[in-house]
Chain A
Amino acid sequence: MHNTNGCRIAIDIGGTFTDTVLIDAAGHSLATTKTPTTPENPTLGALEGARRVLEEAGAHWHQIGGFIHGTTLATNALIERRGAKVATVTTEGFRDILEIAYERRYSQYDIDLVKPDLIVPRSRAFTIGGRMDARGRELQPLDEAGVAALAVALERCGAEAVAVCLMHAYANPAHEIHLREMLSAALPRLVISLSHEVSPEAREFDRLCTTIANAYVLPQMASYLADFQARFTAEGLVCPILMMTAGGGMTTLETAARLPIRLVESGPAGGAILAARIAAETGAQEVLSFDMGGTTAKLCLIDGFRPQTARRFEIARAARFIKGSGMPVRIPVIEMIEIGAGGGSIAHVDRLGRVQVGPESAGSEPGPACFAKGGTKPTVTDADVLQGLIEPARFAEGRLRINEAAAEAAVAHDVGALLGLDPAAAARGISEIVNENMAGAGRMHAVESGKDLGARLMIAFGGNGPLHATRVARRAQVGRILIPRDPGVGSAVGFLFAPVSFEIVRSRYETLDTLDIAGLNAFFEAMIDEARMVVRAGAPEGLLTIRRQAFMRYHGQGHEIEIALPDRPLEAADIADLRRAFEAEYGRQFSRAVPGMTIEILNWALDVSSAAPALRQYPQVERRQLARPVGQRRILCDVTGDWRVADVFERAALEPSDHLSGPALIIEPQTTTFVSADFGAQVDGGGNIWLTRKAEDAR
């Protein structure tokens, strides 16, 4: 029996399922569960999950010493457009920041392109006089006399929330702050989001969008979080609830309610944290995390045990995940490439006779044809069933009966018949295409980041990650894969390893040659004070880590390179080091540095975080022993294209030191690991499965 005192719980509310994980103080998993998400009030599903794991572990509410929550609620509100009625206030002369945006079409050949709906119509876009310049100097005072009329207009249009984004507010927020005071006095019930608090970066369009998105979800998230807290407290929870953010850290409920936009995409961030954690435990310096679920696949690069981060992403991309077709949000996030490739992705044949897969998805309702819940379109899961890779009786903990005939009929009708292929060959074609799409997206993402995939360890999880890992890895020229424990609830597991943290990215234009060192140090001090206050609210004790970064580029270039700054105030002597660091990194990414070119910096980042839970020590595995299969299945081999017999293993019965050779299937309640014929598998002391390409083994 495990000691349940000081146990910690993580709850990840996704669109379809709510994943709950309970671990003991030493970090060992006590119980996991997947319960259906309850869209009417998601808190109910979360309560159900929590009760289940506590019961299974024989633990009590008061023994919980840590509670971490992540939710797609904010993301869904943005995607499904269920948020507050928002108005905007921008600087006079700039009413159309939203409509003008970057003046661009996201799809070159699409004559009938429709631009993304950015929530606020022009009729609710207002302006106010007053102007700052790029250095934060006031050119024209705020038009105080105009505020009364503005308040009337805001009230008349029925706005519940307002996003205020004044020109250069990141450099001097005085006008925004003053405007909030005056508007609050006139309209006490109006929710106000200020751009310099939500996203203090230059680029008015991105900052305005981010502020709108924050204001849009704020009323709903604030009441959700208050209700969530109240219900869990009523159950007997005594520890504070921390919220998972898109940046991969945790924050307090108070900060979450003020800046709810930081909560979007926190589920996928949890998966990346898990992968980074395992990377650290196993010493893998270069990792590709591969999280494939029912609708999408998410890939993230992890170097030096740290997931790659970004400062911008898009919500609700309209058209086939095309860049630019969504609403940009500029906050610190774990950078991921997300493509419409999951178990439910639908396959069809286009007019050139090519198989296309996704991004349309059958989702969980009606789901793949083989679910026999009314879906008739062939999906990636149907193709996997036809290739023998899914044991019908064991799918989804055996709660869902797989209908193979329905899968075959769908694949034959929509793909096979059109191409003159038998259903198995058509199924293999569908798999090849979707796996190529994922590998291609991963390669592209690596290139955009100036990195290479080849030498990486892939860490695969999510409901379909372990099933497709070897097939995607081979195409991405990745030779080693790790499947962690509980891969089906990977994101929630990841929450438990996150630190309490807060990151700020703020704009301030400098060139390296003329760096204003004193000004910059004061600028950082102010950011440190702000971030430290937020972090201390969630982590009152313990050491805090402070990281400073500069986003540097050659004058004239668009691509910024992230350079770490020393963890102390800057000195004049640092400038030469920074130049060297930039040139070295530039040379690494682009083969050669460009001596003599001016280096400029517009954005600066500051991250304050508490220590993450200590790493687990894996027991040493001394020997290798051949694992014993529990059965066999006929599968269509993805390497040779022939039907072959594969051994079937129970993951629960595998022990550290067990090894086996592909083709094989390793089954566990929430997913199946497919070991292709050209891979072998080995279980390590931590219970992770390592899949190694045989050619790689021989090397």
Chain B
Amino acid sequence: MSGTTLAGPHLVDASGLKTHFTSRRGLPPLRHTTVIRAVDGVDITIARGETLGLVGESGCGKSTLGRSLLRLVEPTAGSLTFDGIDVIGADDGSLRRLRRRMQMVFQDPYGSLDPRMTVEQAIGEPLRIHALASGAKRSSRVRELLGQVGLDPRVGERYPHEFSGGQRQRIGIARALAVEPEFIVCDEPVSALDVSIQAQVLNLLDRLRAELRLTFLFVAHDLSVVRHISHRVAVMYLGSVVEVASRDRLYAEPLHPYTRALLSAVPVPNPRMEKGRQRMILKGDVPSPARPPSGCRFHTRCPLAIERCSVEVPILEEKRPGHVAACHLVDRVPPASRPTVAAAP
């Protein structure tokens, strides 16, 4: 798509995307510099109107990838387009125009709202910054947005501390919707909420996506939540995407050993199933992204690894129609036993 501004089938298209952070410790001459390869060569596309789920454990780079797509952190290499427009090369003016079209919903509904701003000010702020509405028009738009996220339109005068966690997350969603974006990165939007409240917010997000024709990148560590909300799912491990497939394929026939291990580790509220279950228990912890292992990054914890895995980096390639994975062993391994997904209700 590069070199053209025609909208392709993909709203978001990242290729070879890298976001590295440099941390310096100590003073010269004893200063040493480490490079954290948070996102390290990611190819990913998101189609208009779809929800792409992005899962992985803490430190795998999933949040950094989400932020990189919006250029909230600067990618260090690779290419990235939004609706055919080059995001990385965009100057300040075109970046501001792009930002109107891409928004973010954060995990922490407590930390992401200014405690001294009323709800109306918080939701109205993006309208002011982008000069979209002012005065009475802005107030009426804020009331409309509050209604859209299921809050009483009259609560605009109140402050964030007067609301519960679930209500605050709704305010955060209203604020993201204010500028009528096309694409929203939802970064762990329900993980700080109690389980009885999670469902309310998940239903709201899905309804808004359908009604407003939004495109979502849904970043989360909870595999059950991601399965519920996503059309396609990407799995990240140590800065790389290791598998992408449609939701149903990924959960029914995971190809990458890491995805299988993740799925087998998720506990289900079903005592009989839990007690009879054979888990694939991974050894050890995730290695540091400052010193990722050679070859396949998962080889140090992979129960199937062979010598080739420690030497040669596997390419993310199509192993089944529409199902990509980065593993040398996909076709050598018997299909995963999949006790987790029921056939019928």
A binds B: no
